[in-house]
Amino acid sequence: MNLKKILALSLASVFLLTGCAERREAAQQMLENKKMENRHEATTFAMDTIMTFTVIHEDGDEIIIDAEQEIRRLENLLSVTVENSDISRLNAAAGKEALDMHVDTQVLLQAGKTLGEKTNGMFDIAISPIVKAWGFTEEEHHVPTQAELDALLPLSDPADVILKEGTAYLQKEGMAVDLGGIAKGYASDKVAELLKEKGVESAIFSLGGNVYGIGTKPDGEKWEVALANPLDANDYCGLISIENQATVTSGGYQRYFEENGKKYHHIIDPATGYPAESGLLQVTIISESGMEADVYSTALYVMGLEKALEFWKANGGFEAIFVTEAGEVIATEGADACFEFEGRDNDFTYRVVKRG
Ligand code: AMP
Ligand code: MG
């Protein structure tokens, strides 16, 4: 073969290659456009909070309606404000009798108890009498007296929630269960399951801040969730990327009231009955389990940074980002791998904690 021929051939193959790449790009673009056409969004109010859905699927609208129905079904079992819910009936029968519970309620009560033990009592499904005493249940806030809290603390022990053969029983009169720190996380797992069953490979939804991302965005990039700035509702501290994962944030700034110039928030330290003062402003958990992420965001907020990091080192299965009162943002090494810190402009500092 002479030089001319070789040149011509290699040029032809270059053209062939670019032609191929162009076609591939066009096909990719068409696929993305198609996926964008299948993008369905909705917002709804349930479980006392705002819920948003983005589902990429040709039947997205119907699938979102199915998801909303599933959430309402769970709300009707688990809510303390729904009159005949399992939890309302259970609370009304405290100190009196054991009642049959729906299988979802059983699973959630058992998980609440187990995760309560695992977090050394920092997560407490029986905390309701104390949450109520602070007025967070009826939104009639006031600071309870020490005598009131002393009387209620013995009524908030999850060991007195007795689960047996499909029934639940609160052993002491005056006890009550509150699933506010776990139910939305559980619901997010159930919705993710339902969406996947319906063939959804790309979706993101937020059940009042309990975010779950299925697969990736249509362009193949991970879903991105802004990490709220706990000091400024209009700002954020960075971006968390998730793929088939949940991320949940807890913070005292999310719900609080002020009395005599002091702020009192809604995350209670079960040891004292007072809003947790752990030196943390915010805890964010990233996990494949929405329920565990929900529980841990609450429990690790109560623990404070040092104990929370010990807990993370001793238990696998999740990653965490903490914001301290001192203005430090601290990520576990796994969280660092999917987090882009953007808080420098707001005077936050950033550091990563390794497991070893
Ligand atoms: P979260 O927003 O997930 O951190 O959950 C906070 C909610 O859980 C509160 O509004 C209470 O209803 C409830 N709660 C407060 N303190 C605790 C606690 N130590 N353990 C379990 N649930 C709690
Ligand atoms: Mg929580």
Per-residue pLDDT band at 154 (split at 50, 70, 90): very high
Strands annotated E in 171-254: 202-207, 210-215, 223-229, 232-242, 245-251
Of 1-5, 41-45, 46-50, 226-230, the range with the lowest mean pLDDT is 1-5
* Centroid of ligand 2 to alpha carbon of 197 (angstroms): 26
**Pocket perturbation via mutation, ligand 1, pick of 178, 182, 207 by most ligand atoms within 8 A of CB:** 178
296 lines ligand 1 (CB under 6 A): no
pLDDT at 203: 98
176 lines ligand 1 (CB under 6 A): no
298 lines ligand 1 (CB under 6 A): yes
pLDDT at 273: 98
For the chain, which domains are there?
Answer: 46-170 (3.10.520.10), 222-353 (3.10.520.10)
The C-alpha atoms of residue 307 and residue 326 are separated, in whole angstroms, by 17
Pick the closest to residue 274 from 291, 260, 256 (CA basis).
Answer: 256
pLDDT at 164: 97
Model pLDDT for residues 262-287, shown as the tens digit of each residue: 999 999 999 999 999 999 999 999 99
pTM of the model: 0.90
pLDDT at 20: 61
180 lines ligand 1 (CB under 6 A): yes
Mean pLDDT of 210-227: 96
pLDDT at 4: 53
pLDDT at 2: 53
131 lines ligand 1 (CB under 6 A): yes
Mean pLDDT of 72-96: 96
Model pLDDT for residues 233-256, shown as the tens digit of each residue: 899 999 999 999 999 999 999 999
Spatial strand order in the sheet of 232-242:
223-229, 232-242, 339-341
Pick the closest to residue 67 from 193, 238, 237, 214 (CA basis).
Answer: 193
